[in-house]
Amino acid sequence: MQVSLPKYQFKTAHLEGFFWMAALLALALHSPLDEGHASLCLAKNLNIGFCPGCGLGTSVSWLFRGHLSQSFLSHPLGIPAVVILIHRIWTIFKSPKATHTKN
């Protein structure tokens, strides 16, 4: 007996979901110990000491490796950010309608 799965129908609103999935996958594959890469952080490139976003990607990388305490120490909002993004991805693909409205 063969079970048929429903066919996936692409919608342009799903592009956001694919973007967030790719971003989470990239952070999951990125080593949190690797400091030798170029940074897109403007504050880091301008040698400004404080940046509220720095450490967020490292926090997510530690989280995907199961190191919750190191993840929290890297950035306290890393764990909530992953939960929010997963919820957003779920909402985008679950909704039968487009999630974006045009004004």
pLDDT in tens, 47-102: 877 777 778 888 999 999 999 999 999 999 999 999 999 999 999 988 766 544 54
Cα distance between residue 97 and residue 79, in whole Å: 29
**Do residues 99 and 66 lie in contact, with contact meaning Cβ atoms separated by under 8 Å?**
no
The predicted structure's pLDDT at residue 82: 96
**Do residues 89 and 17 lie in contact, with contact meaning Cβ atoms separated by under 8 Å?**
yes
The predicted structure's pLDDT at residue 39: 67
